[in-house]
A and B are shown apart, each in its own frame.
Chain A
Amino acid sequence: MALLSFLFNTKPKTASAAKERLQIIIARERSGRSGYDFLPALHAELIAVISKYTKVDSKDITLSLDRKGDLEVLDVNVVLPEVENRS
């Protein structure tokens, strides 16, 4: 087995991973190129809105952009405080 893999010189094919990452990040940067990167503002507004209903900190909300197939998906993760602390 070792000899076979040796013969066929398997190199990791990481270029496709690179391409996928680039597609996402460049799409995001292009859309923001008109000057306004909306994620920080969105982050701040989400904190403000959710804080009206329950106590949250900036570190409880994380945002990320992802690509799933042909779609670009905005992932918003909100960690709500434990029941006693909600109001």
Chain B
Amino acid sequence: MARIIVITSGKGGVGKTTSSASFSTGLAMRGHKTAVIDFDVGLRNLDLIMGCERRVVYDLINVVSGEANLNQALIKDKHCENLFILPASQTRDKDALTEEGVERVLNDLIQMGFEYIICDSPAGIEHGAIMALTFADEAIVVTNPEVSSVRDSDRILGIIQAKSRRAQNGGEPVKEHLLITRYSPKRVEAGEMLSHQDVQEILRIPLIGIIPESEAVLHASNQGNPAIHITGSDVALAYEDVVARFLGDDVPLRFTDYEKPGLLKRLFGAK
């Protein structure tokens, strides 16, 4: 049974595309045929983070408007044969992204045998973000431990509850997951940053994982490699944990506690 998962946040810059890239990669590496779609209209990000920007010929709106079919538009990931990317359109207006068109594309993907379809939402609560969440079975709400991100995540949760197809048809509600990104245990301990418990207390949805603040993310996007491929890094391990939990494994949280590095390490620059 195919599942459609939206990765959304409300707030911009919190790590949706980074998470979409790593989450879909993680699922594909576990053998599941996975598609990841960039729902922004006008700005294209997912292709750059996944490293396939030079192979983009057709995009989501080309497919919706019938100018191309999915086979022409889907880009096979360079690392993972189970993973396909459908890039966003850069040159069209948002009216071209119709609800019927999106529904048709998603149904076609399901017909093609995709088990997981990840919808990378743009920031905000405008048309692209609404289209990304409309058909979702599950939602991963990416949140930084920071006041405006938490407030915007709360807002987007309300919108998912109101505007998703599941809500409007009275079906089983969209399953919500909280993904906290850019977490710094040191700053939490110093009382400078909201803790994950604080965020959970306000948003009240189950936590699927915590991704620590890490330089690895910058290096990953510089190279066009989803962070989960930076083997051994904290971010890669954290995303692997997220995928495992999503698939039902019971994995304890890590990277949540601050361990002060020993004297020698601190002398040589460890933080």
Contacts and interface: CB of A to CB of B under 8 A. Distances in A.
Contact present between A and B (CB < 8 A): yes
Interface of A: 6-7, 9, 11-12, 14-15, 17-18, 21, 24-25, 29, 32, 35, 37, 39-40, 43, 58-59, 62-66
Best-buried of B90, B218, B219 by chain A (most CB within 10 Å): B219
A9 B269 contact: yes
Classify chain B: how many residues form its interface, as a range.
Answer: 20 to 34
A40 B62 contact: yes
B223 A39 contact: no
A24 B54 contact: yes
A39 B269 CA distance: 48
Contacts of A63: 57
B57 A17 contact: no
B72 A21 contact: no
Contact of B54 (A6, A17, A35, A65): A65
B221 interface: yes
B57 A43 contact: yes
Interface in B38-85: 48, 51, 53-55, 57-58, 62, 67-69, 71-72
Nearest to B269: A9
A59 B90 CA distance: 23
Contacts of A40: 57-58, 62, 67-68
Contacts of A9: 268-269
Interface string B216-230: 001101111000000
Given A9-B268, A12-B219, A43 B90 contact: no
B54 A64 contact: yes
Nearest to B51: A21
Contacts of B51: 21
B215 interface: yes
A66 B54 contact: yes
Given A40-B67, A65-B54, A59 B72 contact: yes
Given A21-B224, A29-B90, A58-B71, 18 more contacts: A6-B268, A9-B269, A11-B215, A17-B222, A17-B224, A18-B223, A21-B48, A25-B48, A35-B91, A40-B57, A40-B62, A43-B57, A43-B58, A58-B69, A59-B71, A59-B72, A63-B57, A64-B55
Nearest to B69: A58
Contacts of A32: 91
B71 A25 contact: no
Nearest to A8: B268
Nearest to B47: A25
Interface string B18-51: 0000000000000000000000000000001001
B113 to A, nearest CB: 16
Interface string B194-225: 00000000000000000000010011011110
Contacts of B224: 17, 21
Contacts of A14: 218-219, 222-223
Nearest to B265: A6
A53 B116 CA distance: 39
Interface string B76-106: 0000000000000011000000000000000
A39 B223 CA distance: 24
Contacts of B268: 6-7, 9
